Every structure is written in C-alpha cells, then in structure tokens.
Amino acid sequence: MPTSSSTPTATHAVVPAPRGQRAASSRAWAWTGVAAGALGLASIQTSLAGSVDWQATQGDAGAMLADASGKQGTYLLFHTVTALCAVAVPVFAAGLHRRLDQQAPAGSLLGRVAGWGLLLVAVALLLGSGLDTQYMLALAEPDVLVPESAAFYTDWVATVPWLWLGAGLSGVALAVASLRHSAAPRWIGVVSLLLGGITLVAGISPFQYLAGFTGPVWLLVVALGFALGDRR
C-alpha cells in the first residue's frame, strides 16, 4: 500500500545580536569625547584670548570694559565652543560609565564615579558660559553696561570654565579601574593616573584653575584611546 511521505523544509532564523553587544560595538560615545576634548581646549584658549590686560587696566573698571568691548567676537566664539563642550561631555561620561561597568567587578562604583566627575565638568562649563548672553551682546554698546558689572563678567569668563576638577576625579577612577581591575587598556590607565592625578591635585589646591590646562588634554587623549585603541 503506497504511503505518502513529506520532507520537512528546513528554516533558518536569523537571531539578532543581543542589545548589549550591539551597543558595545559602537564607539560614537568615544568620538564624542574626542570632540569634547578638542572643544575643551578651544574653550580654554578663547577664555585666555578674552582676558583683559590686567596690567593696563588694574583697578580701573572703565578700562576693563573698554578692553572687553573690543573682543565681542572672541566672547562669541568662547560661548559657542564652551556650550558645545558642555553638551558633548555628558555623552562621553555616559559611554565611559557603561564601558567600565562591562569589565569592572560587579557592584563597583568606579564607572559611576568616572561618569559623575565629568558631569561636574559639564555643569562648570554651562555656568561658565551662562552670563554670555547678558554681557556679550551688550559689549557692542558698552555705554549700557555698568563698568564694575562688566569687569566682573571678564573675571567670570576667565575662571569658572576652568573648573575641570571633575575630570581629575574621573581620571583617577579610570586609572584604578584600568590598573587594578583591567577594565580598560593599561596605557589608558597610566595616562589617566598622570594627567588625571595632576588635574585632581590642581583642582583641589588654591590654584584650582590650573586644572583647566590638563583636564581637556586628559579627556582628548583618553577619548582617542577608546576610539582608536580599545581592543577588548
């Protein structure tokens, strides 16, 4: 008696990669950190360029206002790069937090500390550029400004955006995660220990604004390291 037989058809399902793997493969956060480091350096340089001639204007608020009124373009550039840096830094902070959590010991606070330290930098940058609209545009007509108030603005721009202490905290946390727990390439840990340590000490000291010289450099080098040389 004939029997009917059927050959089962094989089906091949494409299994998507887990969400965590897809997220880990993207280095957009690291390249955003590269941009943040470059913008941080530009912020410091434009802040320097916007500083008044202290020797020529010492004790004379009117002279400070006259000096600053000729640098409106510099303050405009300062505001732009500083605000962009304030936006880019939290993206890198979030990526660094996630990156360290992937290889740090369970329950470790290092990734969170590294991320929060950079958020402190973003807040300082936001506040550092926070008076720009009030004064930068008014410098086109210096007569509308009170000289003492404008002199205060030049001090604000020359100090608050330099508060990169949080980057030192992030650098030291990254150094510990790398050198003690192998949660990041060892050379990144060494760089973070040196530049991050210097930034942290400078930020804690009475010469806290010196942290603005080393903090952006640490951020740029480390972000480049994660973008180009992170081979887990």
- Structural domain boundaries in the chain: 27-228
CA 139 to centroid of chain Cα atoms: 29
* Model confidence, pTM: 0.86
d(C-alpha 99, C-alpha 167), whole Å: 17
Q: What percent of the chain has pLDDT over 70?
A: 88
- One-letter amino acid identity for 101? D
Q: What percent of the chain has pLDDT over 90?
A: 69
At 25 the pLDDT is: 63
Give the per-residue pLDDT at 225: 95
Instruction: Quote the pLDDT of residue 219.
Output: 98
Q: Give yes or no for a contact between 155 and 141, defined as CB atoms under 8 angstroms apart.
A: no
Q: Low-confidence residues of the chain, pLDDT below 70?
A: 1-25, 231-232
Q: Quick one: which of 117, 98, 115 has its CA closest to 21?
A: 98
Contacts of 207 (CB under 8 A, 6+ apart): none
